[in-house]
Amino acid sequence: MAKIKVLVVDDSAVVRQVLTAQLQADPDIEMIGAAADPLLAMTRMQVQWPDVIVLDIEMPRMDGITFLKKIMAERPTPVVICSTLTDKGTETAMAALSAGAVSIITKPKIGLKQFLNDVSDDLISAVKAAARANVRRLQVAPKLTADAVLPAADHRSSALLRTTDRVVALGTSTGGTQALEVVLRALPRMSPGIVIVQHMPEHFTAAFAERLNGLCQIEVREARHNDRVVAGRALIAPGGKHMLLRRNGAQYHVEVVDGPLVNRHRPSVDVLFRSVAKCAGANALGVIMTGMGDDGAAGLLEMRKAGAQTVGQDEASCVVYGMPKEAVKRGAVAKVVPLDAIAREIQSQLLL
């Protein structure tokens, strides 16, 4: 009988080393590789596809839940989750199972190496059971547009919206965590108010925003309903919620709302960009950055038609040139710039 080909995806070098040693010691298992994040895993999988994937959840460049959903939608493969975030009954564990994971092994936050050695037999059993699992392609939900959350902007009234207050809207996905760090760290304390959609699942955005807040001169935080959009502050849409820009007189604030997936995402860049087109018009700058798919392309075009300045990250500096490419193709991008120039584009808004 052919050996079970296994790929480990975990950003911890210790975990990769221990799991690889444990699994390849079993005569029925063949280790075909270990990757530090899903993008590296995808490169490896183009050469040889595994029978089973052992997957962490909290990783750079792409989280494990997003990776799991992509696998199950495109080429269903048994996945065993091995993570510190999946205590029994937690929302993250439920999300992993709902996305198609076959089983879950929860790692402790301390004593990790000893724990992994102690559960070696459980891990091997889980991998062998997963190899026999009959996994099926996920039922992909219809791809809704921003119409499912709010109506399109009326561009005839956009000229009436011009004030001295500027708003910057950023949209990004795969590779965006590192790209946003580059942009936001380069901004001085006196910068325009910023609203951001980064495709991330629930419970990840708060920690992501908190980390950036400790690195940046500007304030960075996960958005709360009715938060003001003010100079020197960046608001990141919470995972699992849509974020919309609203205006009350001369002041901008955000709404954080439930709603259906838009472009199969929640939060959706298109929803944010459409709301910015409606509420800010020519007072806004829209920036579309690295990411898979086309979320944000339609919304950025609406912003441009409403008089906003629009910028797309260039292909050379993108981890994945998907979202900006689609926006360029639709005529939504007025200016293409490398990642290290985006902060300058944001600062230029203060001079307009």
Tens-binned pLDDT, residue by residue, of the chain (352 aa): 689 999 999 998 988 998 898 899 999 999 999 999 999 999 899 899 999 999 998 888 888 988 998 888 888 899 999 887 655 446 777 778 778 888 888 776 666 667 777 777 888 888 998 888 877 655 555 678 888 888 886 655 444 455 668 899 999 987 788 899 999 999 999 999 999 999 887 777 888 899 999 999 999 999 999 999 999 999 999 988 999 999 988 889 999 999 998 988 899 999 999 999 999 999 999 999 998 789 999 999 999 999 999 999 999 998 788 899 999 999 999 999 999 999 999 998 766 6
Between CA 128 and CA 117 the distance in angstroms is 18
How many Å apart are CA 237 and CA 267, to the nearest integer? 7
- Catalytic residue list contains 258: no
Residue 327 sits at the vertex; the CA angle it makes with 234 and 319, to the nearest 5 degrees, is 65
Domains, the chain, in order of start with CATH, read 4-131 (3.40.50.2300), 148-351 (3.40.50.180)
Is the whole model's pTM more than 0.85, yes or no? no
Closest CA relative to residue 199, chosen from 219, 183, 179: 179
Identify the active-site residue in 56, 165, 199, 265: 199
Q: According to the 3-state scheme, what is the secondary structure of 9-28?
A: ECCCHHHHHHHHHHHHCCCC
- Among 158, 294, 295, 317, the one annotated catalytic: 295
Six-digit token pair at 184? 């936001």
Query: If you ran DSSP here, which 8-state letter would residue 319 be given?
Result: S
Query: In the chain, which ranges are E strands?
Result: 4-9, 29-35, 52-55, 79-83, 103-106, 167-172, 193-198, 219-222, 228-229, 233-236, 242-248, 251-257, 284-288, 309-313, 335-337
Is 12 a known active-site residue? no
What pLDDT score was predicted for residue 139?
54
Q: Is 210 helix (H, G, I), strand (E, B) or coil?
A: helix
Identify the burial level of 200 via C-beta atoms within 10 angstroms of its C-beta, where 0-12 means exposed, 13-18 middle and 19 or more buried: buried
* pLDDT at residue number 121: 83
Q: How far, in Å, CA of 175 to CA of 193, rounded?
A: 23
- Cis before 151? omega within 30: no
- Answer yes or no: are the C-beta atoms of 32 and 7 closer than 8 Å: yes
Q: What is the pLDDT of residue 283?
A: 92
| Sign of the dihedral defined by the CA atoms of residues 176, 182, 188, 189, in that order | positive
Out of 83, 103, 173, 317, pick the active-site residue.
173
Identify the pLDDT of residue 176: 86
Q: What is the dihedral of CA 200, 341, 182, 296, to 10 degrees?
A: 0
Q: Residue 156: what pLDDT?
A: 54
pLDDT in the model for residue 347: 93
Q: What are phi and psi of 104, to 5 degrees?
A: -135, 135
Annotation says 121 is catalytic? no
